[in-house]
Amino acid sequence: MERLDKTLSKQLNIARSEAKALIKKGSVTVNGALAVSGDMKCADSDVISVDGKKITVNKYVYIMLNKPKGYISATEDKNEKTVLELVPKDMQRKGLFPAGRLDRDTTGFVLITDDGDFAHSILSPKKHVDKTYIATLDRPFTEEVKSDFESGMELGGKKLQKAELDAVDGDFKTARVVLREGMYHQVKRMFKKHGITVVELKRTKIGSLELDKALAEGESRYITETELQNIRNS
């Protein structure tokens, strides 16, 4: 159950005071009856309409964004452009944040949501939700690098979880990396330990959910219920 003014404010992306004003004006009905107060509690199943138009009540939203370079994974910043600015206006709502961080120069799959528990569950190393990256390297990686990645490498005094490393091309300069945790600059630092620089980095998958190839850089779309289950069951 949630207060009506809070639900309206979230769903319509308006201030709580504007939601209250709509109710006062007589624009809002709940299950066909005129709503008189913002503090009325509504259930997910209640049908809320504004000026006769039904609004869809989604408790939480889950958005797949194809992040371009030049944006930081934050909700707001004084100096930098954030991934939240890329979410189209009609998909904006209060409480959205990126679940996990990509570096400013990393591209690809960012999941944006307002569901804190879900975000925690995909970020926690204990939950084993894999993140897959394609890394372009300045020099080929060797078998020795692969076995260090895959046995759980030591990095900065910490023992990492086992990762996967495979060549995508014949010359071992484009690699697919799968991680189960998300330490700061992790992929870059793992290669750096072996004297290799990551020139380009793109996240292509979270769990078993692949970044939609139809999304151009900067574009986003909602993640469907089925896709969400795929991530949850990853």
Which residues contact ligand URA by CB under 6 A? 102-103, 106, 185-188, 201
Contact between 62 and 228 (Cβ < 8 Å): yes
Q: Which of 5, 44, 103, 212 is catalytic?
A: 103
Q: How far apart are CA 48 and CA 108, in angstroms?
A: 36
Q: Which CB, 48 or 64, lies closer to ligand URA?
A: 64
21 burial via Cβ count (<10 Å: 0-12, 13-18, 19+)? middle
Identify whether 103 is a catalytic site residue: yes
- In this structure, which long-range contacts are made by residues 184-191, counting pairs with CB atoms below 8 Å and at least 24 apart in sequence? 185/103, 186/155, 186/160, 187/133, 187/135, 188/103, 189/155, 189/156, 190/149, 190/153, 190/155, 190/160, 190/163, 191/135, 191/137, 191/141, 191/145
Q: What residue type is 2 in one-letter code? A: E
Q: Which CB, 38 or 108, lies closer to ligand URA?
A: 108
Minimum separation from the CB atom of position 175 to ligand URA (A): 12
> Could you identify the residue written with the tokens 């004003």?
21
Residues facing 200 on adjacent strands: 136
Minimum separation from the CB atom of position 32 to ligand URA (A): 49
Q: Which CB, 10 or 67, lies closer to ligand URA?
A: 67
Minimum separation from the CB atom of position 196 to ligand URA (A): 12
Q: Which CB, 62 or 191, lies closer to ligand URA?
A: 191
Minimum separation from the CB atom of position 99 to ligand URA (A): 13
3-state secondary structure of 135: strand
Q: Which CB, 63 or 134, lies closer to ligand URA?
A: 134
Minimum separation from the CB atom of position 77 to ligand URA (A): 16
Catalytic residues: 103
